[in-house]
Amino acid sequence: MTTANVATPAAPLTRREFLYYVWAASIALFMAEMGGALIWFALPRFKEGEFGGVITLPISDLPTPDSGPKDLPDVRIWLVNLGEGRIDDNRQPGEYTVNGGVRALYKICVHLGCLYKWVPTNDRFECPCHGSKYLASGSRIDGPATRNLDSFPIEFVDDDGNVLAQSGTAGTGKSEEGGALEIPSGAVAIRIDTGQRVEGASNTQPGGGI
């Protein structure tokens, strides 16, 4: 006569073991979430060449001094090149001085966020929503906006990618942040950082003539 093997039933989990497994699972889940969050923050949010990232353009794409602004609609920029004519413009508000060179202006009106347009016949930007007006320099010359246009920091680089000049980065407190930069000799490209908008200075006085 043979004897059948009978499996021994597993011992039930004790309360202590059960709590241990729950604790271990919670820690594992927490670590997985932290790892995912770290990877998420480490990934670049914006791709180069898209709004929110760094835009690189060859110098040949820049407007010539005092010509009309260049529209870059995909990246929400008006590129301007301020020459003597813009600096000496008698509509320029006296409380806000302008340097010559290139600026990258943010295309959104600082009043309530409409897209303002360049109007060649009036030689100025005009907002279709409530009538604010700005010079090519970005200076506000008529409200209801109460400050100059916002802009983006720019830098010029040579063939090897060396930075030859930069307008400053938002948050450094430099007065030239987002300001105009002359194109340095040897520059082959401009880089515009659309991830760092520089707020236009308060400017509530009309200029010499709208």
Footprint of ligand FES on this chain (CB under 6 A)?
Answer: 109, 111-114, 127, 129-132, 144-145
Q: Any residues with CB less than 8 A from the CB of 128 and at least 6 apart, and which?
A: 114, 115, 116, 117
- For the bound state, the minimum distance from the C-beta of residue 96 to ligand FES, rounded and expressed in Å, comes to 18
Q: Specify the residue, 96 or 134, whose C-beta has the smaller distance to ligand FES.
A: 134
- For the bound state, the minimum distance from the C-beta of residue 83 to ligand FES, rounded and expressed in Å, comes to 27
Q: Specify the residue, 127 or 181, whose C-beta has the smaller distance to ligand FES.
A: 127
Q: Specify the residue, 145 or 187, whose C-beta has the smaller distance to ligand FES.
A: 145
* One-letter-per-residue 3-state SS of 13-58: CCHHHHHHHHHHHHHHHHHHHHHHHHHHHHCCCCCCCCECEEEEEE
- For the bound state, the minimum distance from the C-beta of residue 46 to ligand FES, rounded and expressed in Å, comes to 25
- For the bound state, the minimum distance from the C-beta of residue 146 to ligand FES, rounded and expressed in Å, comes to 10
Closest-CA residue to 178 (of 95, 105, 71, 89): 105
